[in-house]
Structure 1
Amino acid sequence: MPLYLTEDQTMLRDTARAFMAAEGSIATQLRHWRDIGCKDGFGHALWKQFAELGFTGILIPEAQGGLGLGHVEAGIVLEEIGRNLTPSPFLVTAVAAVEALKGTPHADRWYPGILAGETVAALAVDEAPKHRPERIAMTAERAGNGFRLSGNKQFVVQGASADVVVVAARAEEGVTLFAVEKGAAGLDVEGVRLADGSIGARMRFDGVVDADAVIGEVGGGEAVLARVLGAGRAGAAAELVGLGTQAMGMTVDYLKQRKQFGRLIGEFQALQHRAAHLYAELEIARAATLKAQQLLDEASPEAEAMVSVAKAKAGAASRLAVQEGVQMHGGIGMTDEYDIGLYMKRDRVLAELFGDGAYHADKVARMRGY
Structure 2
Amino acid sequence: MDIQFTEEQELLRSSVQRLLRDQYDFDARRKIVASEEGWSRKHWSSFAELGLLAAPFSEEVGGLGGGPLATMIMMQEFGRHLLVEPFFETVVLAGGLIEDIGSATQQATYLPDIMSGEKVWALAWSEGRSRYDLGHVSTTARREGGSYVLSGTKAAVVAAPWADSLIVSARTSGERRDRNGVSLFVVDRHSPNLHLQGFRTIDGRRAAEVALMNVSVPASQMLGREGEGVAALEACRDRAIGALCAETVGAIGELNAATLEYSKTRKQFGATLGSFQVLQHRMVDMFIAHQEALSLMQHLNLSLASNEAGRSRLASGAKSKIGYAAKFVADQAVQLHGGMGMTDELNVGHYFKRISSINIQFGDPAFHVLRYAQLDAAA
Task: Please state which band the TM-score falls in when normalised by the shorter chain.
Answer: over 0.9
Q: 1:24, 1:15 → 2: CA distance?
A: 13
Given that residues 92 and 123 in structure 1 are in contact (C-alpha distance below 8 angstroms), is that contact kept between their aligned partners in structure 2? yes
Unaligned runs of 5+ in 1: none
Gaps of 5+ in 2: 174-179
Q: Is contact 2:54–2:63 with CA below 8 Å preserved after alignment? A: yes
Cα distance change, pair 186–5 in 1 and its aligned pair in 2 (3 A): farther
Q: Counterpart in 2 of 1:67?
A: 64
In the TM superposition, residue 365 of structure 1 has moved relative to its aligned partner by 1.0
Number of corresponding residues:
366
Counterpart of 2:266 (choices 258, 272, 295) is 258
Deviation at 1:46, TM superposition (A): 0.5
Tell me the secondary structure at the aligned position of residue 138 of structure 2: coil
Residue 217 of structure 1 corresponds to 225
What per-residue deviation string (whole Å, max 9, x for no partner) do you get for residues 43-97 of structure 1? 0110111111111012222133210111111011001111110111111111111
Partner of 1:165: 166
Aligned to 1:133: 134
Cα distance in structure 2, aligned partners of 1:170 and 1:277: 46
Q: Which residue of 2 aligns with 1:78?
A: 75
Task: Specify the alignment match of 2:337 in structure 1.
Answer: 329
Aligned residue for 2:132, secondary structure, equals coil
Q: For the Cα contact (< 8 Å) 1:25–1:85, is it kept in 2?
A: no
Q: In structure 1, what residue type is equivalent to 2:51?
A: G
Does residue 20 of the first structure (1) align with residue 20 of the second (2)?
A: yes
RMSD: 1.5
1:132 Cα offset (Å): 2.3
Shift of 1:158: 0.4
Q: Distance in 2 between matches of 1:159 and 1:188?
A: 11
Matches within 5 A, 1:1-370: 3-8=2-7, 9-29=9-29, 31-36=30-35, 38-39=36-37, 41-102=38-99, 103-104=102-103, 105-128=105-128, 130-172=131-173, 174-206=181-213, 207-369=215-377
Tell me the distance in 2 between the aligned counterparts of 1:32 and 1:52: 22
Partners of 2:134 and 2:234 within 8 A in 1: no
Cα offset, 1:228, TM superposition: 1.3
**Distance between the aligned counterparts of 1:134 and 1:280, measured in 2?**
37
**Does the CA contact (< 8 Å) of 1:245 and 1:321 recur in 2?**
no
Distance in 2 between the 1:5 and 1:169 partners?
42
Of the structure 1 ranges 122-131 and 212-221, higher mean CA displacement relative to structure 2 is found in: 122-131
Shift of 1:28: 0.8
Residue type matched to 1:220 in 2? E
Normalising by structure 1, report the TM-score: 0.95
Q: Deviations over 1:156-214 (max 9, x none)?
A: 11011111111111111611111111211221111111011110111011222110110
CA deviation string 1:244-295 (max 9, x = no partner): 1111110111001111112111011111111111111111111111111111
Between the aligned partners of 1:79 and 1:106, the Cα distance in structure 2 is: 30
Structure 2 residue identity aligned to 1:304: S
Which amino acid letter does the alignment assign opposite residue 121 of structure 2?
A: A
Instruction: Indicate if the aligned counterparts of 2:84 and 2:204 stay in contact, CA closer than 8 A.
Output: no
Determine what percentage of the aligned residue pairs are the same residue: 32
TM-score for both structures, normalised by structure 2:
0.93
